[in-house]
Amino acid sequence: MPLSRPQSRNLLHLRDIQLRGYERADGLIDIEARMTDTKPYSWGEQPHGLNAGEPVHDMWMRLTVDLDMRIHACEAAMDATPYSVCTAAAPNFAQLAGLTIGKGFLREAMRRVGNVAGCTHLRELLQPLGTVAYQTIYSLQVRRRAATQQADAAFINPALINTCLAYDEHGPLVQNSRPLAPERA
């Protein structure tokens, strides 16, 4: 069901975020994000201003992870930024290599690329990239279990328990299942 009907209004800003998860031929997983900010109107003095629909921000990030959620590489690119100096932050995101997406990931990522070492907009992509990494790896694991006849809907990955309402350890979904054995997670 969509949101309720809004009041009369005018669009002032549009942010689009696209996230994708890929299985690589070498067994690793690429998680990619692209974030664009645009305005539906022209603004700023020419020649440095922007026309309606031109991106204020157009930024990319790719995390390469393994099945244990360990980051092997992180690449960032900035095709559009409000200031030329912004692009100097992109290479710093390579410092995320070696981190594991899980408890404490965002805190450690902020230690490495927080403040003046990074970019606010690229850092904002880290949480949804982590979520898509989980979703992508889960999909891959389900496909692999199904291919080996090990699929069982009654199993739940223990790492998911108590992460949201659906996986409440006292809720019906968890109560009517059993934990996924560690060798099958």
Helices 105-113 & 126-147 angle (0-180, nearest 10): 130
| Long-range contacts, stretch 121-127, CB < 8 angstroms, 24+ apart | 121/35, 121/37, 121/57, 121/59, 122/59, 122/61, 122/76, 122/78, 122/89, 122/90, 122/93, 124/35, 125/17, 125/33, 125/35, 125/59, 125/61
Q: pLDDT tens across 144-167, in order?
A: 777 765 544 566 777 778 889 988
pTM: 0.81
Q: pLDDT tens across 78-118, in order?
A: 999 999 999 999 999 999 999 999 999 999 999 999 999 99
Nearest to 54 by CA among 32, 80, 21: 80
Residue with tokens 């006292």: 170
Contact indicator for 20, 35 with CB cutoff of 8 Å: no
Pairing status of strand 29-38 against strand 14-23 = antiparallel
Mean pLDDT is lowest, of 69-73, 92-96, 119-123, 176-180, for 176-180
Cα-Cα-Cα-Cα torsion 117, 60, 79, 84, nearest 10 degrees, comes to -10
